[in-house]
Structure 1
């Protein structure tokens, strides 16, 4: 394990020194084969037009053909997309023009012939607008210079469809207006009969000499007009981008850096590169404060890039505690022309609006502009990702945006745990897509992204190895103190550990995970003891023993619960004394004492039939949910421990703590009211109907959900922003993580009480290796992996029980511990031990 940690730190150092010590933004963006080929075509007018002006671009084309014979990007599975067709043709044309790389050109043409039918067939009904413009243009250009394309007969019908689609576009769209990217931005691909004069080009040159900041369009404009402004732009481009050119130039360097910071965070590497992220965000915040009054873009192409950048910056800055207004990215709401434009061209704004939607996750009370932005972006995203129609736009389909969008829309951010989010991002092979360009996404450089992914995989799997060891240690602790099999209630050892390990990225050697998990186990066991096992007299005796902190008079389950609790408090207090020099025993005892007292009150209510008021119920229920019993002792163990004034047993809880006590109680009550009706108990949902006789159950749930929404916004503000309480940042973030755990458990059902719903998440968090392109079994097996012996290797770890053998192969099995109660069926295990869950 130590060797793995050393390897991880060595890779962190390597990445820091080679990539992050002095960030060159352009080096982090993958080049565009299509645009680089167009620059390679430009002849050097002085001294001789028979050599390329930008020989480095031609050399790039020669050196960057794939083994399969194409140029351009691939999809999530490493296969070429339709982008490769025009990119490959452009590169072949460049080689033909200078009569070099004959073999490369032949391989490129062979690739097109062999794959054109398949690639075009993957885009039924309608091709992306850019493709319908660019690909026919490249075909015509290739034929004009004498290339024999010789397409297979089977593909000719599809090619006719593309040319027909282009004709419709040319007949219905204006040259310089009306769409996300006007036709003139594709000047290099427009047909020869489409008359474009020098005045059209001159009128639309930017101040930097570019035509819509497109290298390919500007290259064609320069070849047609010889304008020195275009030449200066192209020369600046190749000086800046020495390893192939991007599809847009100049690029927003701050946006590249923000995309890099976002990538690092989503891969789960924020701890390793915290200073680099902070440097990027400090500069972004400075820019925000000094450019707040500047005009926002009006050009349609610029709107998409600016909105993408502003929403990404807002989310990152707010998540890191910066004071930033929602209007930093909600400016688009005040421009009806922009709103209409986004609606009309929603397919091109999919990735932009996904960032807008994610930014609205971090909404504080009273931020109605964020509510409007969330509603608008959600509506457009749902429109941009049709279900099962087959006519998804190019950007959504090619880069798996549909899957990302569906993930964001179906499960709120507050119900997702960091560790599993990191896993999903590591396994998402198109995750390095940054934002949409002219004909493809701008993406992080594949070589540099691979380094980050390599580190993320090592970190994730190293954490898994730690988590597996810790869960084994936790089971031993439960067994030692008699908490494993009390004969009643819920056995949730694995659930408790999963929740803490997956919710926040604590250090590798953190004992906080174990402390919180032990606390959660004790809370579950004791809560069930109060709810379903003990008499009121037994509960009074146990609660009094906790108040006195003396086990005298206890026996059986009561004694086991107290002894486990006493061990936990002594362990926690002892480590705090060693680390911080203060004894917090009385503080910890006070928290547990009031928790037990709240359980006793509720048990008394239940057994006596007493119906409390809503306020009375919440006063007790906020404590009995025991969220503060998890986060406050854990906060004491953080490096930035609670100040001494906050670990005074008489100290009042901060607002952020009260909110993290209230929200889980309301979440629990929404999902448990039916069960509690059957058990003859009350909760907040039911009490609302009692105090509001005209309300039905739907009215009551709606009332509680509205209250929850309001309180979640308050908690976010107190957890993320300074100035609202004296708790250190790490403690406030722990409060936020605790709230997210309860939201995960009770988002749409009571997952905590389910014996099966959590299994897949637990397996992915702790046991199943990452899927990063290679096929792996669930767990390391012996060489005899197809036999009973091999099966026992895996079942001994996960406690699977075989159901049936056939010729020494396993037909099926069933799991019991440690995941929960028996009954979760494994449908089939292949000879290579791939599990198929029923």
Structure 2
């Protein structure tokens, strides 16, 4: 079966354009329409209304049965097409790239692995010689294999360098290849100089194209989107709307994939709407919002974490459960950050370490209520996991919460004493106080994949897989733009402490240093996701998704609002993708 060109957006990018004139047309990139002001609080209020809840339940029951039937039929069509992928090496790679970008790859894990295993075998046996000089194909193969955990040497890109060690001049005209090279460079690990060079070279040339092309040029947005949202560091589900419009505009023959993506989006959307009802009801019943007026009240925002981390439509129950500890992380953070005295916080931390409600006797009501919610919620989640997977994780969950509160207390003591820690001392503790470890321990046990004594013990110790993600979150949080619209606390900042240690260092230089540290953390994370690894693929994907969500969750505008996140919530819960 010959694969039509629409199977990959990049294959339709012309390889030769004059940067001075920009005459050659590129495929159209549709942008999000301008909409009226909308925010997550309004959405939560709407979903909390009893009549709205009943209407959503009725609509869900009425349309999902029919949609499920149509979806199943279309899914079989695509699987049939996938099974007939021909001998052309690029054909299978382009198909994988398409289903991943359309957010429907979770339906095709076995077929994707079969195709990539075939490519990996050819590389290892030195029989992969097809289009070895084609930068785009080499880049695409490299990226897809590394994304699935296969180690491919970065040396495959040395062929595209000249004798001077620089990437060849002729590549500057290969827009498709440069985009593929930039995407591939996002999978680099430490000490891969050729991929560092590839990232710098491709980003510089592609940025030059963006500057030279007319603002109304059809291809300008595609190049810019690649630079700002490379696939490996983006959440495909959040990018589907833009991609599917490009996909449709490239070639109308791709209807079968487009239709499946649209149906899948609607099904997942209906599941998310139902989850929001469940989370809203749980949060209202918990009663913390009424009792703790000083704390944040953002269950929809917190559930966005779960939606981003666990993208498979079959993980609905896990998403709803995951939102519970995420919510409690924010609440306990507010207790430490804006409310409790040091003596109270010390007693609260001791109670969490002892896991003893009786230890709360001399604490204020807000702490008693919060610990009771933490205690009950953790035990309930532990029991559900035990019933489903046969392993009781409560001890691991309890230890994770104790570790988090210990880190919160360290920061509270610093503030109370006026102590200014060294930047690295702050970061070491900040990795723990980020809450990432608590989230990922819950993810690990909720998924229930690869539950062995070795892996269960490993998650308790914050392994590098978790540590690198926590570093990314902590440093992003400290870049200066993360000022929560509903939080007035006394947080420290790596940038602040770094500048105190390096007298004369400007804010800009300190922030660049942090960006470099984030880049290094991504390299370590990429390495941890390669085979062999103790953790199952589903958990590694979830871990990557935490890192991918961080920029969206911590990029506040000048009004301290998460405008981009709010737009994504609106799209995922109430928007549509159309052919």
The answer, yes or no, to whether TM exceeds 0.5 is: yes
Alpha-carbon contact 1:502-1:765 (below 8 Å) kept: no
Pick the structure with more helix per residue: 2
* 2:246 counterpart residue number: 428
Deviation at 1:550, TM superposition (A): 2.6
Larger radius of gyration: 1
Distance 1:459 1:257 in 2: 22
* 2:44 counterpart residue number: none
Is 1:505 aligned to residue 323 of structure 2? Answer: no
Alpha-carbon contact 2:308-2:545 (below 8 Å) kept: no
Specify which of 358, 361, 370 is matched with residue 186 of structure 2: 361
Q: Deviations over 1:202-248 (max 9, x none)?
A: xxxxxxxxxxxxxxxxxxxxxxxxxxxxxxxxxxxxxxxxxxxxxxx
Deviation at 1:416, TM superposition (A): 2.7
Specify which of 92, 96, 118 is matched with residue 261 of structure 1: 96
Alpha-carbon contact 1:488-1:533 (below 8 Å) kept: yes
Q: Deviations over 1:158-201 (max 9, x none)?
A: xxxxxxxxxxxxxxxxxxxxxxxxxxxxxxxxxxxxxxxxxxxx
* 2:19 counterpart residue number: none
Distance 2:135 2:161 in 1: 11
* 2:413 counterpart residue number: 604
Alpha-carbon contact 2:378-2:398 (below 8 Å) kept: yes
SS of match in other structure, 2:449 = coil
Is 1:520 aligned to residue 322 of structure 2? Answer: no
* 2:434 counterpart residue number: 625
| Worse overlay, 750-759 or 273-282 | 750-759
Written as runs of structure 1 = structure 2, the 5 A alignment for 1:754-769 is 754=561, 756-769=563-576
Distance 1:623 1:334 in 2: 45
C-alpha distance 584-338 of structure 1, shift in aligned 2 (>3 A): closer
Specify which of 7, 16, 22 is matched with residue 84 of structure 2: 22
Is 1:540 aligned to residue 349 of structure 2? Answer: no
Specify which of 476, 482, 492 is matched with residue 682 of structure 1: 492
Distance 1:506 1:557 in 2: 36
Distance 2:83 2:490 in 1: 63
Distance 1:688 1:560 in 2: 38
Distance 2:336 2:326 in 1: 15
C-alpha distance 519-771 of structure 1, shift in aligned 2 (>3 A): same
C-alpha distance 716-749 of structure 1, shift in aligned 2 (>3 A): farther
Specify which of 658, 663, 675 is matched with residue 472 of structure 2: 663
C-alpha distance 330-563 of structure 1, shift in aligned 2 (>3 A): farther
C-alpha distance 716-273 of structure 1, shift in aligned 2 (>3 A): same
C-alpha distance 407-254 of structure 1, shift in aligned 2 (>3 A): same
C-alpha distance 275-631 of structure 1, shift in aligned 2 (>3 A): same
Alpha-carbon contact 2:171-2:177 (below 8 Å) kept: no
C-alpha distance 647-329 of structure 1, shift in aligned 2 (>3 A): same
Distance 1:375 1:284 in 2: 27
C-alpha distance 499-559 of structure 1, shift in aligned 2 (>3 A): same
Alpha-carbon contact 1:498-1:765 (below 8 Å) kept: no
Is 1:742 aligned to residue 550 of structure 2? Answer: yes
Q: Deviations over 1:591-631 (max 9, x none)?
A: 01111121122112212212223343223211111101101
Written as runs of structure 1 = structure 2, the 5 A alignment for 1:65-80 is none
Is 1:289 aligned to residue 94 of structure 2? Answer: no
Distance 1:13 1:701 in 2: 49
C-alpha distance 407-296 of structure 1, shift in aligned 2 (>3 A): closer
Q: Deviations over 1:654-687 (max 9, x none)?
A: 2212222222112211226999xx9665322222
* Gaps in structure 2 of 5+ consecutive residues: 1-60
Deviation at 1:426, TM superposition (A): 1.9
Alpha-carbon contact 1:515-1:634 (below 8 Å) kept: no
* 2:40 counterpart residue number: none
* 1:150 counterpart residue number: none
Distance 1:565 1:752 in 2: 32
* 2:33 counterpart residue number: none
Written as runs of structure 1 = structure 2, the 5 A alignment for 1:71-470 is 253-291=88-126, 303=133, 306-334=134-162, 339-343=168-172, 346=173, 349-386=174-211, 389=214, 400-411=218-229, 413=231, 416-430=234-248, 433=250, 446-447=252-253, 449-470=254-275
C-alpha distance 753-413 of structure 1, shift in aligned 2 (>3 A): farther
Deviation at 1:259, TM superposition (A): 0.9
Specify which of 353, 375, 381 is matched with residue 572 of structure 1: 381
Distance 1:317 1:735 in 2: 18
Written as runs of structure 1 = structure 2, the 5 A alignment for 1:479-494 is 479-485=284-290, 486-494=292-300
* 1:695 counterpart residue number: 505
C-alpha distance 331-406 of structure 1, shift in aligned 2 (>3 A): same
TM-score under structure 2 normalisation? 0.80
Aligned residues: 508
SS of match in other structure, 1:508 = helix
C-alpha distance 464-583 of structure 1, shift in aligned 2 (>3 A): same
TM-score under structure 1 normalisation? 0.57
SS of match in other structure, 2:386 = helix
Q: Deviations over 1:397-416 (max 9, x none)?
A: 5xx43222111223455653
Distance 2:402 2:144 in 1: 40
* 2:55 counterpart residue number: none
C-alpha distance 503-583 of structure 1, shift in aligned 2 (>3 A): closer
C-alpha distance 414-671 of structure 1, shift in aligned 2 (>3 A): farther
Q: Deviations over 1:76-111 (max 9, x none)?
A: xxxxxxxxxxxxxxxxxxxxxxxxxxxxxxxxxxxx
Alpha-carbon contact 2:214-2:220 (below 8 Å) kept: no
Distance 1:635 1:598 in 2: 22
Distance 1:383 1:691 in 2: 37
Deviation at 1:647, TM superposition (A): 2.8
Distance 2:571 2:490 in 1: 38
SS of match in other structure, 1:322 = coil
* 1:239 counterpart residue number: none
Deviation at 1:320, TM superposition (A): 0.7
Alpha-carbon contact 1:417-1:744 (below 8 Å) kept: no
Alpha-carbon contact 1:312-1:355 (below 8 Å) kept: yes
* 2:74 counterpart residue number: 11
* Gaps in structure 1 of 5+ consecutive residues: 26-252, 298-302, 434-442, 773-838
Alpha-carbon contact 2:75-2:260 (below 8 Å) kept: yes
CA root-mean-square deviation: 2.9
Distance 2:281 2:475 in 1: 34
Alpha-carbon contact 1:625-1:665 (below 8 Å) kept: yes
Q: Deviations over 1:406-459 (max 9, x none)?
A: 11223455653221123322232456x5xxxxxxxxx6xx44x21111111111
